[in-house]
């Protein structure tokens, strides 16, 4: 099977030209609507602003600092204020949209409420825009940014010109977000704060489901329930692709009204990877669709988990109308998102990588992929825990996740979203002690400055240093890169 038009499922997008009709701003529900966006320069917010502008809305916004993003928005005709105050909201404003980073005490939020203006979250507005498009949403505890990037990249390169919002910068796409003339809108569907429940995609993927976000969910059962509600947003004529090898992910689709397709390595699933073998650290596989060969694919990124991500992307792209041979060729060209096993440098025989991993499973599979692909003499991991609550609830899982590292260096926990009281319950030294109990080598160094000094003392030719975490630990990688280049 080669994904010809005859092989397309009923209702699938069949031609690129059908997806490239110009946006009708006259009939758009956003035409001439005056919208003010608080935090407009964020990657998702600025893409949303551009999409709304393309649909005829009159956009203003504010952000805390000038940047290339604010300059681009101003150049497109939007009024952007630097700094946030009540006077920034135009007199004729009809709707205020705010990013997840905006706090309740923001003066513009308060002013909007006082004036009786409708106020909604970014994710709610994202859902309203998706409802006017052919929505594609990628959900799961891990792999969302990578898979969303894969789908958006192939659609864009294949000529479908989608709009997209990825939770990470993808250099091949020109950034984390973009606005196209096509009908597809590809979005990363985040379960944090149940924001993905504002989306209503025609095509959805569930990559995996694990316990996370203890500040939002009591336990895994609550997480599964939220994913079930997300699945219920997919209409009966839509498609849901789900990881057959993830038991909790399968629970989420048990009551789906849309058609469910499975992907994985198990016999009998809709999209199966067979004949997997390693070639220079990357997986080569045959993709079967309903027991018939669909394509041969070289997974573009290291790690078995990226074989799963690629399978999900293949399934979604097939339903979006991309042919098998074309998608296989384009997927192999995908180079990934920033902070996802991102190679920073190889200098003086030392490799430096930066990665966003901040969940035990992500850490474990990423470190294994790094070791298998780069085969370093020593693997030194600088891990910045993200949130005190997450570290406390998953402490033992974190401690077991560093088995592939020869040394783990832990700075202070990145403080975000937790209460001040949560700080009293756990610290980085607790994680270091648990890693040592599990046989690992670990050390606590409070500041990035201390860590950089330590690395300069111990790093040798053949070593690989990886910085990991959802905070600002990438600054350590940048300092080491600078040191290696400066000291040549």
The pLDDT tens digits of the residues spanning 206-244 come to: 999 998 887 889 899 999 999 999 999 999 999 999 999
In angstroms, what is the C-alpha Rg of the chain? 23
pLDDT band for position 104 (cuts 50, 70, 90) = confident
Q: Is the pLDDT of residue 483 over 70?
A: yes
Judge whether residue 310 has pLDDT over 60.
yes
Instruction: Give the tens place of pLDDT for each residue, 465-474.
Output: 999 998 899 9
Query: pLDDT category, 135, cuts 50, 70, 90?
Result: very high
pLDDT of residue 2 exceeding 50 = no
CB atoms inside a 10 Å sphere around CB 449: 12
Average pLDDT, the chain: 91
Q: Which helix (H) or strand (E) holds 163?
A: strand 163-170
End-to-end Cα separation, the chain, in angstroms: 53
Residue 281: predicted pLDDT: 83
Please report which residue ranges of 237-286 form alpha helices under DSSP H. 247-251
The more confident residue out of 97 and 190 is: 97
Using pLDDT thresholds of 50, 70 and 90, give the confidence band for residue 274: very high
Q: 161-165, 379-383, 404-408: lowest mean pLDDT where?
A: 161-165
- The mean pLDDT value for 350-368 works out to 95
pLDDT-derived band at 6, boundaries 50, 70, 90 = very low
Indicate if the pLDDT at residue 334 is higher than 60. Answer: yes
Element (H, E) at 298: strand 292-298
Say yes or no to pLDDT of 486 above 80: yes
Kind of pairing between the strands at 203-206 and 184-189: unpaired
pLDDT of 167 reads 84
Structure tokens at 355: 């990665």
- Note the pLDDT of residue 8: 43
Structure tokens at 328: 């296989």
| Residue % of the chain over a pLDDT of 70 | 94
> What distance in Å separates the CA atoms of residue 302 and residue 336, rounded to the nearest whole number?
10
Domains recognised in the chain with CATH numbers: 29-121 (3.40.50.720), 132-331 (3.40.1190.10), 342-486 (3.90.190.20)
Residue 10, pLDDT above cutoff 60: no
Instruction: Find where tokens 């407009």 sit.
Output: 40
In which band, very low, low, confident or very high, does the pLDDT at 22 lie, cut at 50, 70 and 90? very low
User: Can you tell me the mean pLDDT for 333-338?
Assistant: 94
């Amino acid at each position: 099977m080669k994904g010809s038009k005859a092989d397309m499922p009923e209702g699938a997008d069949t031609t690129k030209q059908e997806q490239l009709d110009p946006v009708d701003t006259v009939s758009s529900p956003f035409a001439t609507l005056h919208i003010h966006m608080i935090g407009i320069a964020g990657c998702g917010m600025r893409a949303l602003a551009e999409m709304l502008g393309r649909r005829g809305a009159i956009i203003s916004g504010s952000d805390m600092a000038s940047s290339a993003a604010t300059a681009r928005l101003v150049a497109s005709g939007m009024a952007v204020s630097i700094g946030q105050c009540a006077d920034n909201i135009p007199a004729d404003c009809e709707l205020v949209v705010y990013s997840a980073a905006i706090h309740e005490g923001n003066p513009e939020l308060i002013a909007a409420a006082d004036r009786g203006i409708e106020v909604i979250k970014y994710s709610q507005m994202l859902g309203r825009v998706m409802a006017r498009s052919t929505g594609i949403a990628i959900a799961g505890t891990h792999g969302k940014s990578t898979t969303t990037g894969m789908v958006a990249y192939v659609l864009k390169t294949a000529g479908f010109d989608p709009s997209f919002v990825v939770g990470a910068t993808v250099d091949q796409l020109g950034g984390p977000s973009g606005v196209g003339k096509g009908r597809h809108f590809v979005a990363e569907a985040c379960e944090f704060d149940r924001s993905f429940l504002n989306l209503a995609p025609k095509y959805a993927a569930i990559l995996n489901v694990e316990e996370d976000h203890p500040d939002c969910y009591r336990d895994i059962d609550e997480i599964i329930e939220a994913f079930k509600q997300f699945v219920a947003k997919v209409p009966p004529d839509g498609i849901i692709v789900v990881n057959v090898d993830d038991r909790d992910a399968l629970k989420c689709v048990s009551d789906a009204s849309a058609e469910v397709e499975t992907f994985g390595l198990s016999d009998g699933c809709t999209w199966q990877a067979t004949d997997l073998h390693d070639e220079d650290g990357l997986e080569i596989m045959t993709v079967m669709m309903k027991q018939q060969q669909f394509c041969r694919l070289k997974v573009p990124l290291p790690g078995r988990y990226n074989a799963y991500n690629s399978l999900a992307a293949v399934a979604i792209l097939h339903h979006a109308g991309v042919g098998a041979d074309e998608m296989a060729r384009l997927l192999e060209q995908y180079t990934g998102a920033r902070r996802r096993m991102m190679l920073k440098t190889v200098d003086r025989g030392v490799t430096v990588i930066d990665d966003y991993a901040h969940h035990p499973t992500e850490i474990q599979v990423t470190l294994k992929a790094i070791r298998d692909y780069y085969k370093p003499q020593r693997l030194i991991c600088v891990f910045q825990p993200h949130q005190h609550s997450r570290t406390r609830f998953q402490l033992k899982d974190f401690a077991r996740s560093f088995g592939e590292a020869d040394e783990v260096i832990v700075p202070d926990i990145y403080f975000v979203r937790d209460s001040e009281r949560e700080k009293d319950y756990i610290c980085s030294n607790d994680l270091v002690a648990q890693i040592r109990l599990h046989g690992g080598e670990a050390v606590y160094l409070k500041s990035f400055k201390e860590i950089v000094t330590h690395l300069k003392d111990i790093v040798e030719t053949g070593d690989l240093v990886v910085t990991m975490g959802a905070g600002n630990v990438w600054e350590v990688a940048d300092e080491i890169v600078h040191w290696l280049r400066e000291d040549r």
